[in-house]
Amino acid sequence: MNKLKTNFFAKIANIFIASCTLMLAGQSWASDSALQPIRIGLDADMSSASAESGEAIHRGMIVAIDEINENGGINGHKLEIVVRDHRGNPARGIDNINEFAADKTIVAVMGGLHTPVAMAELKTIHENGLIYLVPWAAGTMVVDNGFTPNNVFRVSVRDQFAGRFLTKMAANNNYKKLGLLLEQTGWGRSNEKAISEAAKQIGVEIAGVEWISWGAKSAEAQINSLAKKGADVIMLVANANEGAVVLEGVAEITKADRLPIISHWGITGGRFTQLVGDNLNKVNLSFLQTYSFISPARPAREKDFFARYKKLFPKTTKEDQILSPVGTAHAYDLVHLLSNAIKNAESLEIAKIRSALENIKQYDGLVKIYNPPFTNERHDALDESDFTLAKFLSDGSIVPIAK
């Protein structure tokens, strides 16, 4: 009787496996090279104003996947990327998530730069049981999203921490009255809250708050308003196009009256330096970063990474030519963290992968040694200690400012 039952269930299992595009092979996966690939979706701006950020994230994923596949993949399964372009549009992002969810070979989605898109996608992500990896979008509520269980894991800035860091940097440079110039989105509002709370704690004043919309062609009114209110520095939260408008507006002011700018990192995700041209040299601009290929925190790890990057992207001959460094580095580490989690889970079930991500003890990453990267209570892998200020050189490369 037991033998008959065993044979019956074995036949059922074989039918079920054959009917699925991708299926677990129990507790021990086969290492057959013909196994279906495990696919990661990339949902980012690949063609609009922040396309450089999308391409940077894509390249970081490619380098990580090249390493993983060269070493046998994940239990014999090769990793692949499926790319969808949301162009900064939340509705298009939701459509992309639904497409990914329909493809049962996709177990996780890598997001892009835009917090508003990520926020719009969260419900669909959780309804469809996908892991969501965040290499850039910094809005606090992207991770603190109210979903239980929470499928979002971030290697990036968290605005709650970024606001405090940027405010400290302003205070350290003896600025006393902060003029906030923020994009009119959830990302801007997240930073208004974070900077305002930090200013109270640190003892600096918010001189005024102004807003800039996507696609704005001028920021003259906002800049003038902040100056009239006595701001001695502009705290900028904007992406490349709108950030360029702000910098050009400041550059047009008489040199003696030009306000310095301390910016969030959105300006590094597009064609900012090409847009501002020589005006870059007229304004005292610094901005948040977490990683530099020019001055890496872990030189030996960066050397190995860059050797492979040059092989895959031969037009890049120097580290300072790497697009949007933070997006590249964060995406690279996230793919490896996901790979480790799947191996540890010995499963493609989302609940098991989520638990495995929360229980990685240590990972020797490019950005840092994560010890641990995540926990059940903490899905943000970076904190304020990982942040630094940086500046653009005239050729568009990004270099850290010595602490």
Condensed to tens digits (0 to 9), the pLDDT of residues 227-251 reads 999 999 999 999 999 999 999 999 9
Q: Is the pLDDT of residue 323 over 50?
A: yes
| 17: confidence class by pLDDT, cuts 50, 70, 90 | very low
Collect all residues with Cβ–Cβ distance below 8 Å to 389 and sequence separation of at least 6. 169, 262, 286, 287, 288, 289, 400, 401
Q: What CATH architecture applies to the domain 29-157+299-383?
A: 3-Layer(aba) Sandwich (3.40)
Q: Is the pLDDT of residue 21 over 60?
A: no
Domains 29-157+299-383 and 160-289 agree in fold = yes
Distance CA 207, CA 291 (A): 31
| 314: confidence class by pLDDT, cuts 50, 70, 90 | very high
The pLDDT value recorded for residue 402 is: 75
Q: Are 336 and 64 in contact (CB under 8 A)?
A: yes
Closest C-alpha among 93, 49, 76, 28 to residue 275: 49
The pLDDT value recorded for residue 208 is: 98
Q: Is the pLDDT of residue 4 over 50?
A: no
The residues spanned by each domain of the chain are: 29-157+299-383, 160-289
C-alpha dihedral, 264 to 269 to 271 to 277, nearest 10°: 30
The DSSP code sequence of 260-301 is PEEE-GGGGGSSHHHHHGGGGGGS-EEEEES--SSS-SSHHH
Residue whose structure tokens are 């299926």: 23
pLDDT tens for 175-197 read 999 999 999 999 999 999 999 99
Please state which of the four CATH numbers 2.40.30.10, 3.40.50.2300, 3.40.190.10, 3.40.50.450 is assigned to the domain occupying 160-289: 3.40.50.2300
The pLDDT value recorded for residue 25 is: 34
Mean pLDDT over the full length of the chain: 92
Q: Is the pLDDT of residue 18 over 60?
A: no
3-state secondary structure of 241: helix
Q: Are 102 and 109 in contact (CB under 8 A)?
A: no
3-state secondary structure of 55: helix
The pLDDT value recorded for residue 290 is: 97
Distance CA 48, CA 63 (A): 23
Distance CA 88, CA 100 (A): 17
| 2: confidence class by pLDDT, cuts 50, 70, 90 | very low
pLDDT tens for 390-403 read 999 988 999 999 76
- What is the pTM for the complete model shown? 0.90
Buried b (16+ CB within 10 A) or exposed e, 291-319: bbbbebbbeebbeebbebbbeeeeebeeb
